[in-house]
Amino acid sequence: MINKLKLVFFLLLLLAAVNGIAQKSDVGNWFAYLGNQKINDRWNFHNEVQYRNFNFAGDLEQLLIRTGLGYNLSQNNNNVLLGYAYIHSEPYIAGTDEKSRTDEHRIFQQFITKQQFGRVNILHRYRFEQRFIRDDFKMRLRYSLSLNIPINKKVMEKNAVYASLSNEVFINTKQNHYDRDRVYGGIGYCFSKYVKVEAGVMSQILPATSRTQFQIMIFNNLPF
């Protein structure tokens, strides 16, 4: 049964990849690696790389590198974290096939708290960002609610297939307070208690438009 589920999952990945290539820039694709390494019972090290494309691969939209040091206020929960992110963006200039290039340095603080109701694993993430873009300085608030629900097992453990749902709202501290909203749904597979892979579709809703992104993510929580 598990081997069949693995086969179905990776066939879905392959089908989505082919679909993303065929549609070119109609659907973007984000490859993401997210690491969270436990240092001891209280401290953790976050490390993350995201490679975002306008198409399936090769047409860079954004490269994001994020890291931080976190501390659990209670056992394995209620984590506060101080972090830094570097973001290189290559957006298209409106009405042309040419790109502009910008680099952003970002300091952020976040709080994550987790809950569990039966099979449903709930995560709340609150993040406050200070953004340095060339000669501009901006601040932004973010709130993310995400759910992981194992399908073939009762808990998120080795060989579990799970559904993943999330919604994240971005709010600017100055005018045009609404920045964007990201609604996501996907399916994942746990290779072990610490490593899982996930694929899904995210709709990014901006003030004037929206865009669909396919996502492939690897989560690595192996402790030091």
What integer pLDDT is reported at residue 96 of this predicted model?
86
Q: Position 34: which residue type?
A: L
Bridge partners of 127, per DSSP, are 110, 142
- Cα-Cα end-to-end distance for the chain: 33
Claim: this prediction has a pTM higher than 0.75: yes
CATH for the stretch 2-220: 2.40.160
What integer pLDDT is reported at residue 213 of this predicted model?
92
Who contacts 51 (Cβ-Cβ below 8 Å, separation ≥6)?
30, 31, 32, 60, 63
Q: 10-residue block means of pLDDT along the chain (224 residues)?
A: 53 49 64 96 96 88 97 95 97 87 97 96 98 94 98 94 97 93 97 96 92 95 90
What integer pLDDT is reported at residue 25 of this predicted model?
46
Q: Residue 94 carries which DSSP code?
A: T
What integer pLDDT is reported at residue 94 of this predicted model?
84
- Tokens for 44? 């953790």
- Report the alpha-carbon distance of residue 143 to residue 161 in Å, rounded: 26
What integer pLDDT is reported at residue 23 of this predicted model?
40
Residue 224, CA distances (Å) to 35, 194, 221 in order: 11, 12, 9
Residue 95, CA distances (Å) to 2, 98, 104, 205 in order: 49, 9, 24, 20
- Report the alpha-carbon distance of residue 167 to residue 143 in Å, rounded: 8
Residue in 217, 211, 213 with CA at minimum distance from that of residue 187 = 217
What integer pLDDT is reported at residue 13 of this predicted model?
55
Q: Position 42: which residue type?
A: R
- Report the alpha-carbon distance of residue 37 to residue 128 in Å, rounded: 22
**Are the C-beta atoms of 110 and 126 separated by less than 8 Å?**
yes
Residue spans per domain, the chain: 2-220
